[in-house]
Structure 1
């Protein structure tokens, strides 16, 4: 149909209908003889026509897909052939995707007919094109491609093809690349394991350097079935691809327990197979030996193999591999398969097992026992200590600067992996300072802001990693430098951890606790930061003062202690003539008598600052038991607690006016003179004794 308009004709493009423009583009593509850049230009125009088609259809115009017949589809799909330039194949894939979207069910039918027709012809050229098309369209229409892939007899026919006496490297490469793409789909992966694992093993076991002794070895240009045949042995590249496919189908299989030799139903002779660990060593060797030829496929296979604990540990202990992987990542293009694969390996090496509550741990153990009769136990190589050791090795490979660079242009998927890696590295306190120095704080803040709100889990992970780093570092050093990042930019990510994760069945309070500690560190700097924290997160902070978890309560009170160093915020939150302010102050006074010493200390510190204001002194004095709670701090065994309590008493007793008179009256009535006298006797610090003596002087003098 495309030939209806001659490619040599030159009508004005704008005078043609959309259908005629489409046919003209196909005529040019069918004509042949185009340079790669010319082909790319024509494919780009056709892709735009197809992408815009939906808007015209909505306006009532006919779709240009109606004039695209099987010959036209054949033309575009043949540009997916591996023998074309990569840039041509990439644009052909975009064009195919646009066509399938515009043509709907008719396009899917034509694609199916093309694939099955080529496979039925059974020539090498037809196999190559069919396999290349399947590889390219798997990510575009996985449901359709998997149906074709799983059609009856198809996978079974690949074994005889790959076992033919005479090998076509292009056919084998195209076939294995198709299997590689198919392994992203679980049912296809299972089918490959069932029908192809045996001959994949045979490919790996062959020696590619062995000379072909057959008489045909002297005829390298011999043609058979349309393909150029030169060898009776599989090439090293084909072996590598076979190893990648095997790694994918075996790495995701559950680990099998060793055979029970006392059970007669279990065979003592187990079939010999290439283990995931052996495949990993093979791919690692290929990556290091010939990186210019095997980088992408080796990394892709290792990304799957490194799901296994033993492989993780072996790779992390291979310094040459880690250095090579970081170097490869450094030179890899953003949003490329190599970048994603390398990040996947690093993420697998550093990932910690998920945090589980005691109930969840017991349930997991029961499920494991039920599913495997107790034979499969958690792998010790996945425990906290082994993961920490792997993280240390990855960190020492100087990976962080490379992660920072890739985070600036990465996809959401890559950014999620980068955040996972940084989060794991930040678990070790010794890494946090260097992480900050190497740009991890800016990375995490930028990532948190860049990620869409739908990426809730990844954003929380970024915020938690940020919290860990800011707990252990000086904000003045972290946010200084020649291109400073405002420290207030960290507040919103940290504040997001103060509320429960909506996607979690049970609340994990560790991120909340770490966020409170990081905010406390920031609040130690200046009033602008304190005010920004209050403005952004106060309702959540206030709620956490009453957390049932004592450590969270302590962290919240410590944060409040730093926040009230800002006079405007202290007065607005605790001294306003509102029920909310009075309630907050009552909570703080009550926490001065909390069970945890750290909570009492933080509450005492906050009250030591707040009792500088007359209105707050009056409110504490008027509260039932307020004076007793304050004096309770002075009777503590801990020197620091006594110091804070004495400051609160001195501030209240020394307040002028009616508020001061009321405070002194309440303190005396609660036995302040005796308590302070005992406090002075206990104390060995001159600073504490000095404050206590000043408070006593004020209390014992006549009104």
Structure 2
């Protein structure tokens, strides 16, 4: 450590690179001086320390960003960067002096990491690949040259246009170097290049309906990479091995093998800094840090197959057919891989439990604290979403700080809300909702205090992302459902939380539309959220019936209709909201008007109390023949129905309306249903339905209805 630090302090390249970095921030700066360019190109050579490499990455990134910001099109930026680097780099690669050749090779590999478009353009120039491979003959005993060539081929294999230039000779050389045992660092670099080349070639072949041969099978490669992770003492070979496994861990058999190897998992998870405030991998570590690869492996091990609707499944099938015009073999092979039993939900669930036991959650939360990288945090969010799919895992995720990690990720995704935005919807991609969805799953099955802690401010902060997942056009129906469920849970925390939810931009309008959704679960979630908000927020109470207007009357009509759907939880939520709203005389007046117009309010409320006694609403007679038996009563519906009826009776102010409602209640059997409800409480005088039922019968008696004994 001391020698590395000493090299950093005394290496003159550091001072030059620091000076160049300052110049890149100057608006008048145009390009490098010859000595500055030479220093930058040489900065990635193994002759320099890791600290110099890091400084080189920062300068190179600053320059490439500067050039791209000065142009309006990607091609123009690529040309500008190539104009600066192409000639000095290619001339060094073709040089006969090993030191210069090594500088050219290592710089081109670094450029792939920082700006792959310009690096790919240089790599594809006539004669460049040949010059790279010629260095192996020119310096046959140079371990550093072999390593640099393996790194470049690995970088190139990750990009389709460059990959097309790599042939059988390049594959054979990589396979040869990956099988040698003298140099583990070279072995890892060659193996990761092979993995990327094989994966990329398979994807390229699938696009045209062909197939690509694998130089080594996945089991052999995975075993090699696993061994390097467990035993490697070289940082670069460790990073290469992790990168290779990140590519390979999409294979179901590899997933199973990795998830069962506790020694490997322990070493892999230990690569993530655990101490809060530990040095975070940043831009200069893009080629050397295994952090990103580690979280990708975790995400791949616990990833479920995409949930496709029947329409989406049919589209996917048509796409597979379109990509395999040369016969059924390729299509069958692809389908077998997609339908691999090792990737079914049960196997994924077991893999998730195994890696959680091995410490995956601690590694994921530490990764979020260790870096601000959007890419790393996005993958962490995806991994946690997969892990919390299994309800049995959610407690472990919470214990390991999963909720706090998700909140940090979400804060980095969502721009701060500003009053000047005027309700403008932020630009979000579908992947941005994954951490929000994971947090919603936790908020559905645990109390808000367990998820967000005792600070109510954290609960308030969660309202915005959940509301966005309901209203944003990029969110899917499942995400909207889970967001509404989470908001329902939050709304029960306090009246302030309910009020803040109700005031979220566009939320209530969207929820009202989702109450009419054909999907039962979505409709249920929307209705339950409204039920909680009606009870917890005065604004929503007034909007839904506390004030007399046509809009509230329409909303009451929707609630009455939802009291008559097949889904019991939806009926409970809708009747619960009505029970609250009927405390308002204005709501009662609107319900009487709806009863006079459609003659459905009283029958539907009566059906809640006793469906076997109360006459079905007009227009529902045709459904009776389809019913094998009368719908069964539910204690929750009975209680809500009796409260609604009691409130409605006592909320009617008009004398004529009172008499009409009393007569109609008798005609449809509602009076008998109330009597039976009271008799049912004979053995339970503390029943909560006894008093409102008795008060309802008293009101009916006072309005001329004969109560049967």
* Structures share fold, TM-score greater than 0.5: yes
Matched residues in 1 for 2:551 and 2:127: separation?
74
Matched residues in 1 for 2:493 and 2:213: separation?
66
Could you tell me which residue of structure 2 aligns to residue 427 of structure 1? Answer: 389
Could you tell me which residue of structure 2 aligns to residue 646 of structure 1? Answer: 642
1:398 matched to 2:369? The reply is: no
Q: In the TM superposition, what whole-angstrom CA distance separates every residue of 1:674-693 from its partner, at most 9, and x where no partner exists? A: 23235556789843762434
Q: Is the 8 A contact 1:138 1:181 kept in 2?
A: yes
Could you tell me which residue of structure 2 aligns to residue 518 of structure 1? Answer: 486
Unaligned runs of 5+ in 1: 1-32, 57-62, 209-234, 258-265
SS in structure 2 of the partner of residue 548 of structure 1 = coil
1:603 matched to 2:597? The reply is: no
Moved more, 134-143 or 281-290: 134-143
1:375 matched to 2:345? The reply is: no
Matched residues in 1 for 2:267 and 2:16: separation?
40
Matched residues in 2 for 1:204 and 1:197: separation?
10
Q: CA deviation at 1:98?
A: 4.8
State how 1:268-667 maps to structure 2 within 5 Å: 273-293=215-235, 294-330=237-273, 333-335=280-282, 336=285, 337-372=289-324, 373=328, 374-376=331-333, 377=335, 378=338, 379-408=340-369, 409-452=371-414, 453-481=426-454, 486-499=458-471, 501-502=473-474, 508-536=476-504, 537-566=507-536, 568-569=538-539, 570-624=541-595, 625=599, 626-636=601-611, 637-640=632-635, 641-655=637-651, 657-658=653-654, 661=658, 664=662, 667=665
Q: How many residues are aligned here?
A: 620
1:121 matched to 2:107? The reply is: no
State how 1:147-162 maps to structure 2 within 5 Å: 147-156=121-130, 158=132, 161-162=135-136
SS in structure 1 of the partner of residue 271 of structure 2 = helix
Aligned CA distance change for structure 1 residues 420 and 64 (closer, same or farther; 3 Å): closer
Q: In the TM superposition, what whole-angstrom CA distance separates every residue of 1:611-641 from its partner, at most 9, and x where no partner exists? A: 1222222221221222222112112322222
Q: Is the 8 A contact 1:436 1:478 kept in 2?
A: yes
SS in structure 1 of the partner of residue 20 of structure 2 = helix
Q: CA deviation at 1:567?
A: 5.9
Could you tell me which residue of structure 2 aligns to residue 224 of structure 1? Answer: none
Q: Normalised by the size of structure 1, how large is the TM-score?
A: 0.81
Aligned CA distance change for structure 1 residues 675 and 316 (closer, same or farther; 3 Å): same
Q: In the TM superposition, what whole-angstrom CA distance separates every residue of 1:108-144 from its partner, at most 9, and x where no partner exists? A: 3352221222233233223211111111222344333
Could you tell me which residue of structure 1 aligns to residue 106 of structure 2? Answer: 132
Q: Is the 8 A contact 2:112 2:119 kept in 1?
A: yes
Matched residues in 2 for 1:423 and 1:461: separation?
6
Q: Is the 8 A contact 1:460 1:496 kept in 2?
A: no
Higher relative contact order (CA 8 A, sep 6+): 2
Matched residues in 1 for 2:680 and 2:306: separation?
48
Q: CA deviation at 1:242?
A: 0.9
SS in structure 2 of the partner of residue 274 of structure 1 = coil
Aligned CA distance change for structure 1 residues 51 and 681 (closer, same or farther; 3 Å): same
1:90 matched to 2:58? The reply is: no
Moved more, 618-627 or 332-341: 332-341
From 177, 190, 196, the equivalent of 1:203 is 177
State how 1:180-259 maps to structure 2 within 5 Å: 180-192=154-166, 194-208=168-182, 235-254=183-202
Matched residues in 2 for 1:34 and 1:645: separation?
78
Moved more, 441-450 or 467-476: 441-450
Matched residues in 2 for 1:685 and 1:312: separation?
60
Matched residues in 2 for 1:457 and 1:673: separation?
54
Unaligned runs of 5+ in 2: 1-6, 71-76, 415-425, 612-631, 705-709
Q: CA deviation at 1:470?
A: 1.0
Q: Is the 8 A contact 1:400 1:440 kept in 2?
A: yes
Matched residues in 1 for 2:180 and 2:234: separation?
23
Matched residues in 1 for 2:586 and 2:233: separation?
73
Matched residues in 2 for 1:205 and 1:477: separation?
51
Aligned CA distance change for structure 1 residues 47 and 320 (closer, same or farther; 3 Å): same
Q: Is the 8 A contact 2:20 2:36 kept in 1?
A: no
From 92, 95, 111, the equivalent of 2:85 is 111
